[in-house]
Chain A
Amino acid sequence: MKIGRVCACFVLLILFAGFVSAESVAAGQLSADEIVDKANIAAYYAGDDGRATVKMTITDNQGRKRYREFNILRKDDGPDGGEQKFYVYFKRPSDVKGMVFMVHKHPGKDDDRWLYLPALDLVKRIAASDKRTSFVGSDFYYEDVSGRGVDEDEHKLLKSDDKFYLIECRPKDPGSVEFSRYQVWIDKQSFMPVKAEYYDKENTLYRRVEALEIKDVQGFPTVLRSRVENLAAGGKTVSEFSRIKYDIGLKDDIFTERYLRRPPRQARR
């Protein structure tokens, strides 16, 4: 398993919370880009900060299961849609217990990422170029989470019924990704993305990401359970989120080398 790739978690998962403001509901005719912007904010920018415990069950194509458990802290820097910091503290499996993965996310350019290995007291910097690789051996990608900027795809509104917007996304640089297009269902009330389906270069559906359970937490629609299915190779990963809290007043310096070497209580418990 590779923690370096972790971030992905945030994907649909983690702080996949949304926000229901009066404005967004009142919006009349939104363009595809506007809908995607709102969905991005709903999914990744709930509150000014937050924490969650994530339990992942990874099932391979022969039914064998592996488990991951980690705590995530998130803090936004500046306006929604902008810079963010993440702190991931691993609890399970035991060989990675105590390791920390930290990301300074810079929309529009490469993120800064670090991994702390307690046994060596080593703060390791990680190259940020890998976007569509597995996060800790799961079916989630790094980019499912924090990586894919809204400007990297062309968006088209395919359909709008009374519950969902259906948006089609096509990569501006098709050579950089393994999909040819994907479709996202976005809840009209909350602007939460609830399902995404990815098509390969032969236009075959091969990957599905879904929110299985969404609940209101402190006024933010929040994903409690999400699933990624690999329809081509088989296998799936289910993530469960618990102990979710927003606006907990995380200090900025938690996301520095000091607290990599000395995980704060909020991250460990």
Chain B
Amino acid sequence: MKGRPGFRLIILILLLLAGLAPGGVWAGEFSLARFNDRLADAGIDYRGFLDLRGGWRVREPVDERHTSLGEARLQLDIDYDLGWVVGKFKGDLFADAVERSSGGTIREAYLLGSPLDFADLKVGRQVLTWGTGDLLFINDLFPKDWKSFFTGRENEYLKAPAEAARLSLFFDVVNIDLVYMPRFNPSEYINGQRLSYWSPLSGDTVGRDHGLRDHGRNSWFSEDEVAVRLFRNFSGLEAAFYFYDGYWKTPEGMKADGRVYFPRLRSFGFSLRRDLFGGLANLEAGWYDSRDDRDGDDPMVRNSEWRFLVGFEHELGDDFTGSLQYYLEVIQDYDDYRDSLPPGMEKRDEYRHLLTLRLTRLLLRQNLILSLFAYYSPSDNDAYLRPQISYKLTDNWLIFAGGNLFYGAEDYTFFGQFESNSNLYGGLRYNF
């Protein structure tokens, strides 16, 4: 469904559903409770929300609209428990005023069961997460949606779903997660649609008129991905080893035709997490083996890298939490990278240092939440701030506002390139 009539239709459906929702005009508490009980007896659980939000750029856009976000979204999340297996469906209907589109997306649709006493199997479209970083990912190479993250959609949209089979095996010595994705699931990367970015080829910030086009990897079973985790909890110390074999999730390579592609990637890593000094500490590391540029001398493909992360979280007061992370990216074979770079192209630093700070304060009986997440890179000299305020008017209604603010001394650094995308957003949500 594309275009304006569709948009109006969706709005109409959303309004109708809002009226039908619990506490709405038509449904009495009691009949709805009885209806829900009957569903629960049949093994069916549901929840969902209606969400309206808008966002605006606070700086002059580069080849983009002033509006960064404008959408209505209805989500329905249904669980069906058949005893031997649980079925899940979670889908969104949306109407998007920025990309002038409307339609539906399926976020999750899977079956989950235990074929053996010590094994769980989850098959279908699902959201996958592991690793210890807070909004920093080393060994979590599952798809992300950076567009949603940078424009102010709810946090859950940072994780993009993947079509996968996940087999989890539980033993006394170690637990094993095996994830097979028969077709590559790339991240929703910044490609000029909605958000502008730095184009190394043009040597300039560009937007929707210079949208990146990629050579997709769409072949079932040949362009596939495998992710493995071994993990165990040693009385409070959580340890894990990770392996991934697939492709860079964002297009880190370019072909001669000027189109980008997803080079091959393998990664190995580990993480540790435990309580420490009354707070929580975590450590994670990974080695990215960029298999299409093993020697690091191909300027069109990202080099192999080491990545490290340490974090600490602690209470700062009642209902007030703070956390800090230090993250390091090291480019392998840096000399080869530097020597092979075409003249005129901006060069990355060998070491990219990044600090993050999270502050979360709950007020008014935890109904008012003030939070700030900040990224700051002393080596790139850029930063990204994510302030947010939200208030629960009732158990169902939530209002919120926030920002995605980018700063950079240079136009070509990771966060600096997004400076013109800096935006403020706000909206409301009805949960049912």
Q: Which residues of chain A have a CB within 8 Å of any CB of chain B?
A: 1-2, 58, 60, 66-67, 92-95, 97-98, 104, 110, 112, 119-123, 125-130, 132-134, 136-137, 235, 253, 256-258, 261-262, 265, 268-269
Are A257's CB and B233's CB within 8 A?
Answer: yes
Interface of chain B: mostly helix, strand, loop or mixed: strand
Contacts of B280 in A (CB 8 A): 125-127
Q: Does B210 contact A (CB under 8 A)?
A: no
Nearest 6 interchain pairs by C-beta:
A119-B156, A137-B366, A93-B395, A129-B278, A95-B431, A121-B129
In the complex, which of the residues B45, B168, B366 has the most CB atoms of chain A within 10 Å of its own CB atom? B366
Among B49, B170, B238, B365: residue with most chain A CB under 10 A: B365
Q: Which residue of the partner chain, among B48, B126, B236, B319, contacts A134 with CB atoms under 8 Å?
A: B319
Question: Residues of A contacting B79 with CB < 8 Å?
Answer: 98
Q: Indicate if the CB atoms of B314 and A129 lie closer than 8 Å.
A: yes
Q: Which residue of B lies closest to A64 (CB)?
A: B394
Interface residues on chain B, size class: 35 or more
CB of B381 closer than 8 Å to a CB of A:
no
Q: Which residues does chain A contribute within 8 Å of B129, judged by CB atoms?
A: 120-123
B336 touches A (CB below 8 Å): no
Check B367 against A1 for contact (C-beta < 8 Å).
Answer: yes
Interface centre among B130, B279, B280, B315 (most CB of A within 10 A): B280
What's the minimum C-beta distance from B51 to chain A, rounded to whole angstroms? 11
Q: In the assembly, what is the distance between CA of A92 and CA of B23, in Å?
A: 14
Nearest residue, chain A, Cβ from B161:
A121
Interface residue B231 (Cβ < 8 Å from any Cβ of A): yes
> A71 to nearest B CB, angstroms?
12
Given that A66-B394, A258-B170 are contacting pairs, would A110 and B367 also be in contact in the complex, using a CB cutoff of 8 Å? Answer: no
Q: Which residues of A contact B314 (CB under 8 A)?
A: 127, 129
Contacts of A104 in B (CB 8 A): 236
- Shortest Cβ distance from residue A145 to the other chain B in the assembled complex, whole angstroms: 17
The answer on a CB contact under 8 Å between B278 and A95 is no
Chain B residues near A121: list those with CB within 8 A: 126-129, 159
Q: What are some 30 contacts across the A-B interface (CB < 8 A)? A: A1-B392, A2-B366, A66-B395, A94-B395, A94-B396, A94-B431, A112-B275, A119-B156, A120-B156, A120-B158, A120-B159, A121-B127, A121-B159, A127-B275, A127-B314, A127-B315, A128-B275, A129-B279, A129-B314, A130-B315, A133-B318, A133-B319, A134-B319, A134-B366, A136-B366, A137-B367, A235-B365, A258-B175, A268-B81, A269-B40
Give Cα A1 to B392, complex, Å: 9
Does A265 contact B81, Cβ atoms closer than 8 Å? yes
Chain A residue nearest in CB terms to B107: A119
User: Is B159's CB under 8 angstroms from A128's CB?
Assistant: no
* Most B C-beta atoms less than 10 A away, residue of A1, A60, A119: A119
**Residue B432 interfacial (CB < 8 Å):** yes
Contact of A94 among B231, B282, B367, B432 (CB under 8 A): B432
B49 touching A95, Cβ below 8 Å: yes
Determine the residue in chain A with the shortest Cβ distance to B369.
A2
Cα of A235 to Cα of B156 in the assembled complex, Å: 33
B347 at the interface (CB under 8 A from A): no
Which has the most chain B C-beta neighbours within 10 Å: A235, A257, A268? A257
A213 to B239 CA separation, bound complex (whole angstroms): 45
B170-196 contacts to A, CB under 8 A, are 170, 175
Residues of B close to A235: CB separation below 8 A? 365
Closest to A128 in B: B275
Chain B, 304-350, CB within 8 A of any chain A CB: 313-315, 318-319, 321
Alpha-carbon gap, A239 to B362, bound state (A): 22
Residues from 345 to 402 in B contacting A, C-beta threshold 8 Å: 362, 365-367, 392, 394-396, 398
